[in-house]
Structure 1
Amino acid sequence: MIRFEQVSVTYEGTAEPALHGVDLAVPEGELCLLVGPSGVGKSTLLGTVSGLVPHFTGGILHGRVTVAGRDTRTHKPRELADVVGTVGQDPLAHFVTDTVEDELAYGMESIGLAPDVMRRRVEETLDLLGLAALRDRPIATLSGGQQQRVAIGSVLTPHPRVLVLDEPTSALDPGAAEEVLAVLQRLVHDLGTTVLMAEHRLERVVQYADRVLLLPAPGAPPLLGDPAEVMGFSPVHPPVVALGKLARWSPLPLTVRDARRRAGPLRERLGTVTDAPQQAASPEPAPSPQRAAQADRLTVRRGRAEVLRGIGLTVRSGEAVALMGRNGAGKSTLLNTLVGMHEPAAGSVRLGPLGGTAVVPHRTRPAELLHHIGLVPQEPRDLLYADTVGAECEAADTDADAAPGTCRALVTRLLPDVPDATHPRDLSEGQRLALALAVVLTAAPPLLLLDEPTRGLDYAAKARLVGILRELAGSGHAIILATHDVELAAELAHRVVIMAEGEIVADGPASEVVTASPAFAPQTAKILAPHRWLTVPQIRAALTARDATAEPTPPASEVTE
């Protein structure tokens, strides 16, 4: 169905190709998962299938890509629209209409389907993706995850033979992600649709893949093979694979179910380790009693609708809090209110310690507010306006009154090997997010807010992010992150707050809240339940400590009957 013949792509102004030596075929009716570290050319490879590369992005394409027999060099994206459906990392860039139902119908109108066929397919797609209640809603009023589902639905309605998806579950809550992946599996199994999908959250998708296509490094040739085999040497892999490597299981498990079947001996070994602070989600000292922010009976309205109702939340210095909940629960609205973008309809928001001068966000000038609180939004481009990475760093230093080079040092930690001359638009979604985070961190705000901070980040980049955030928490910064990434919450959060319908429904220590919820439990917790282990590094450290203190077995000659 998809054939790559010695494909390489080189962009203007770059010495090395973004993609090199791709020569393989993806058969019809398979789900092929594209994996690899950030910046290795995954989005470029997907773009060659849809025709966006090079017709839209520019650059030089060597070799040939054919889809259902059509050469993408001679067929522009609109000439491939009936066979290839594409959803990129940014759903907002995908939309051309204002409402959900119109967006689902637009692609079919473009290829001239009959009205009765269009009506039936719109209804089918609304039901498949759980969008029926949103059919008349303006797209601009939807949450990021809801917009992602609409974007996926809009390419499903024309019934393409090939789906090209770039991070399709990155903005979805665990339940919505499972629904979307179940739909994709049905399309593959029942209709023979070919799906080529890039995704960093491998814990969600690797078990659904028929094959895995690995791009190991920039410019390196790809490897295509069985998922378990490829995961064995892939530089990026989900926690279930990391746990399998630690326990030396062969073949490596790809699902929680397979891992649980083999985890009995490991659970027994861990059962001898007394529950202790090393099992906490974050190894940093406990948060201080000093308040960083407080919301008291906070209510926020949009029009006549109450999107936040009676929120009571206190965050203390040195504390990392994960906000979780389904799409549309109010997480982003709460962050935006804390940073002053919404005025409360009732209740109050205060920043700063008790007894000090309280800061009311919506009444504080932005130039002053950035020294109290910083927000990294879901769309990092909202913070980026310069022509180069270097110019962004210089502007951030100036705005924050920081020493020259402060922002650049943060960028270097988060984005190794990204030159100053690179334009932000040429960065991947994950790289732009890391740049926006560095811009916000330049002012060293006492309270840092992050909205879906791991969108587009691979496991290595996520580990670097966790390291920086842990250092910030350890030095007294408070952190609130709205996330659907249960593995991130397990790695970083001291507390987890779960929201639903604009209200807080759970608030407590991370190890208690996430293990009590099947939807928000990380893979490690599911595998080793009822023990409250959350991450593979915790287990590795505990086993190392256990083995170091275990009494050595005496030689056989010293054993008496």
Structure 2
Amino acid sequence: MITFEQVSVQYADAPAPALSGLDLTVPEGELCLLVGPSGSGKSTLLGTVSGLVPHFTGGVLRGRVTVAGRDTREHRPRELADVVGTVGQDPAAHFVTDTVEDELAYGMESLGLPGDVMRRRVEETLDLLGLADLRDRALTSLSGGQQQRVAIGSVLTVHPRVLVLDEPTSALDPGAAEEVLAVLQRLVHDLGTTVLMAEHRLERVVQYADQVLLLAPGEEPVLGEPAEVMAHSPVHPPVVGLGRLAGWRPLPLSVRDARRKAAPLRERLDGRAPAGTPATAQTATPTATADRLAVRRGPVPALRGVDLTLRPYEITALMGRNGAGKSTLLGSLVGLHAPASGSVRVGGRTPHRTRPAELIREVGLVPQDPRDLLYGESVAAECAAADADAGAAPGTCRALVERLLPGIADTAHPRDLSEGQRLTLALAVVLTARPPLLLLDEPTRGLDYAAKARLVGILRDLAAEGHAVLLATHDVELAAELAHRTVILAEGEIVADGPTAEVVVSSPAFAPQVAKVLAPGPWLTVGQVAEALRA
């Protein structure tokens, strides 16, 4: 179905090719998973299949890519639209209409399909992706995860033979991610659709892959069976890391397979417990409080009677399904939403009544898309603006960027940075004012495991310095690794609040892979298990 013949892609001014020497075939009706560190060329490879590379992105494509017999050098993306459906990392950039139902129908209208066919396929897709209740909603009113499902649905209605997906579950809660992956499985198994997917959250998807293509900078691409590739891949999910640590062969790719092998490891760990997390200052003056907070977003009640206290030295994970109110709660803490009832206090101030110039010294928000915070023409311009806004000495923000992630050039445009670099720049911009409260909305979206590890180290250091950190996330592995405390929201209400080990282990939806494999033990991460075995 998809053939790469000695494919390489070289962008202007890039020191090395984004892709080099790619020579392989993806058969019809298979799910091929692309894995590799950020910058290894995954998005570029996906773009060559849809024709976006080089027709839209530029660069020089050497070799030949054929999809269903069509050479992508000779066919522009619009000439491949009936065969290839593409969903990129940013769902909002995918939209061309205003409402959910119109967006699902747009692609079919472009292809001139009959009205009765369009109506039937829209209804099928609404049901497949759990979007029926949102059919009349404005796209701008949806949560990030809901937008992701609409973007995928707008491609599925066309019934493409090849589906190209870049980070399709990155903005989805665990339940919604399972629903999307189940749909992809049905497309592959029942309809013979070929799916090519790049995804950093391998714990969600690797067990569904028929083949895995490993890309690493400066190395030959490797295509093979998932277990074989994962045995030496530099990026791998926790269940594979646990299997490597325990010496299991063949390596398990799913929790179920790992549990079948885990009895001896559970016996070795019996009677032990992970090292305790650093004590937090529970008696310290709260950094922020919400008291019976209720917020409405238009006609929709987004928060209902939320009570929350955030303290210095403590990292809190805020979790819940898409649309539960997580982003609204973060927005309320920075004054974006006025309470319908109840109150919010941050550093003794009422956020929505405080001037932004004063509020940035109390609380900083890194939004779901860091580009929303970045408007300068270069990294140097962003840093200079951040220093001015915070009243900090010139060079303060630039020093933070260099400390968090050395090597970002002053002249680089923020839009040209990788997801991890953009997040680092946005974090430095926010930290320039040294706010006691730091809020992050889906901070690991688009990050590989190495970038995520750097973020974990940064946030731990900030908490140790006395910052209170609240991060809204669907990444259960991040919460297990980092958070002292986990709060779960549902329908705008807090339904769980306590130490992370207690909250996530008791929740099948939010438990990390290691906890599921080694239950009923108290283990959350591969690192905890490795430390216990060394001891």
Q: Which amino acid aligns with 2:459?
A: L
Task: Tell me the residue number matched to 1:351.
Answer: 346
Matches within 5 A, 1:147-226: 147-217=147-217, 219-226=218-225
Q: Which residue number corresponds to residue 291 of structure 1?
A: 286
The superposition leaves residues 445-485 of structure 1 with CA deviations (integer Å, 9 ceiling, x where unpaired) of 11000000000001111010000100111111000011000
1:515 pairs, out of 505, 518, 528, with 505
Is the alpha carbon distance of 1:494 and 1:28 closer, same or farther for their aligned partners in structure 2, counting shifts above 3 Å? Answer: same
Residue 17 of structure 1 is matched in structure 2 by 17
**Alpha-carbon distance between aligned partners in 1 of 2:453 and 2:459, rounded to the nearest angstrom:** 10
Q: Which residue of 2 aligns with 1:360?
A: 350
- Structure with larger Rg: 1
1:248 matched to which residue of 2? 247
Residue 291 of structure 1 aligns to a residue whose secondary structure is: coil
CA contact (8 A) 1:89 1:429 kept: no
- 2:336 matched to which residue of 1? 341
Displacement of 1:418 in angstroms is 3.5
Amino acid at match of 1:311: V
The 8 Å contact of residues 497 and 506 in structure 1, kept in 2 or not, is answered as: yes
Paired with 1:446 and 1:531, the residues of 2 have a C-alpha distance of 35
Query: What's the offset of the Cα at 1:404?
Result: 4.1
Measured after TM superposition, the shift of residue 416 of structure 1 is: 4.7
Decide whether aligned partners of structure 1 residues 134 and 345 sit closer, same or farther in structure 2, where only a CA change above 3 A counts.
same
Of residues 435, 438, 441, the one that matches 1:448 is 438
Letter paired with 1:64: R
With over 3 angstroms needed to count, the CA separation of the structure-2 counterparts of 1:535 and 1:409, relative to structure 1, is: farther
- Displacement, 1:96? 0.3
SS of the aligned residue for 2:287 comes to strand
CA distance in 2, matches of 1:431, 1:206: 26
Are the counterparts in 2 of residues 342 and 362 from structure 1 also a CA contact under 8 Å?
yes
CA contact (8 A) 2:281 2:312 kept: no
Is residue 330 from structure 1 mapped to residue 325 from structure 2 by the alignment? yes
Match of 1:72 in 2: 72
> Could you say which residue in structure 1 is the equivalent of 2:454?
464
Q: Distance in 1 between matches of 2:208 and 2:281?
A: 39
Aligned to 1:420: 410
CA distance in 1, matches of 2:522, 2:379: 42
Q: Please state if 1:372 is matched with 2:362.
A: yes
Q: What is the aligned counterpart of 1:500 among 486, 490, 505?
A: 490
Q: Show the counterpart of 1:234.
A: 233
Conserved 8 A contact 2:317-2:473 = yes
Partner Cα separation in structure 1 for residue 238 and residue 278 of structure 2: 19
| Deviation (angstroms), 1:286 | 5.1
5 Å-filtered alignment, 1:532-547, equals 532-545=522-535
What is the distance in 1 between the residues matched to 2:238 and 2:474? 16
Q: Secondary structure at the match of 2:515?
A: helix
User: Equivalent residues in 2 for 1:99-138 (5 A)?
Assistant: 99-138=99-138
Q: CA deviation at 1:403?
A: 4.1
Aligned partners of 1:288 and 1:318 also within 8 Å: no
Q: Does 1:479 align with 2:469?
A: yes
CA RMSD, Structure 1 to Structure 2 (Å): 1.5
Partners in 2 of 1:22 and 1:398 — Cα distance?
A: 47
Give the Å deviation of 1:3.
1.2
Amino acid at match of 2:258: A
SS in 1 for 2:368: coil
Deviation at 1:229, TM superposition (A): 1.0
- Mapped to 2, the partners of 1:204 and 1:386 lie a distance apart of 36
SS state at 2:170 partner:
coil
Residue pair 1:38, 1:431 contacting (<8 A) in 2 also:
no
Runs of 4+ in 1 over 6 A off after TM superposition: none
Cα distance 1:409–1:9, how it changes in 2: closer, same or farther (>3 A)?
Answer: farther
Q: How does 1:379-394 map to 2 (within 5 A)?
A: 379-394=369-384
1:313 maps to which residue?
308
CA contact (8 A) 2:288 2:345 kept: yes
Inter-partner Cα distance in structure 1 for 2:374 and 2:155? 29
- What amino acid is aligned across from residue 22 of structure 1 in structure 2? L
* Separation in 2, partners of 1:367, 1:450: 19
Mean alpha-carbon deviation: is it higher for 379-388 or for 407-416?
A: 407-416
Q: Secondary structure at the match of 2:231?
A: helix
Aligned residue type for 1:294: T
Cα shift at 1:169: 0.2
Q: More displaced, 60-69 or 518-527? A: 60-69
Letter in structure 2 aligned against 1:47 = G
Q: Which residue of 2 aligns with 1:552?
A: none
Q: How does 1:8-87 map to 2 (within 5 A)?
A: 8-87=8-87
Cα distance in 2 between the residues matched to 1:265 and 1:126: 45
How much has 1:57 moved relative to structure 2?
Answer: 1.3
Amino acid at match of 1:362: H
* Percent of aligned pairs sharing the same letter: 78
Contact 2:280 2:314 in 1 (8 A): no
**5+ long unaligned stretches in structure 2:** none
CA contact (8 A) 1:7 1:21 kept: yes
Amino acid at match of 1:235: P
One-letter code of the match for 1:189?
H
Distance 1:159 1:417 in 2: 44
In the alignment, which residue of structure 2 is the partner of 1:97? 97
Which amino acid in 1 is paired with 2:414? P
Report which stretch shifted further, 448-457 or 48-57.
48-57
Aligned length: 535
Alignment correspondent of 2:258: 259
In 1, Cα distance between the equivalents of 2:75 and 2:237? 37
Structure-to-structure mapping, 1:270-285, within 5 angstroms: 270-273=269-272, 275=273, 278=275, 280=276, 282-283=277-278, 285=280
Structure 2 distance, partners of 1:405, 1:220, is 38
User: In structure 1, how many angstroms separate the alpha carbons of the residues matched to 2:300 and 2:14?
Assistant: 50
Give, as a single letter, the amino acid of the residue that structure 1 aligns with 2:162: V
Paired residue type of 1:474: A
Provide the secondary structure at the position in 2 that maps to 1:75: coil
Which deviations, in whole Å up to 9, do the C-alpha atoms of 1:1-23 show, x marking residues without a partner? Answer: 11112222222222222222212
CA distance in 2, matches of 1:225, 1:417: 34
> Residues 395 and 291 from structure 1, CA distance in 2 versus in 1: closer, same or farther, beyond 3 angstroms?
same
Distance 2:396 2:266 in 1: 45
2: CA distance between counterparts of 1:319 and 1:54? 47
Question: C-alpha displacement at 1:316, in angstroms?
Answer: 0.7
Paired residues of 2:523 and 2:529 also in contact (CA < 8 A): yes
Deviation at 1:288, TM superposition (A): 5.0
Q: Does 1:439 align with 2:429?
A: yes
Which digits, 9 at most, give the CA deviation of each residue in 1:315-363, with x for residues without a partner? 11111111111100000000001000011111111012xxxxx111111
CA distance in 1, matches of 2:476, 2:238: 11
When structure 1 is superposed on structure 2, of 237-246 and 382-391 the one drifting more is 382-391
Kept in 1, the 8 Å contact 2:280–2:312? The answer is no
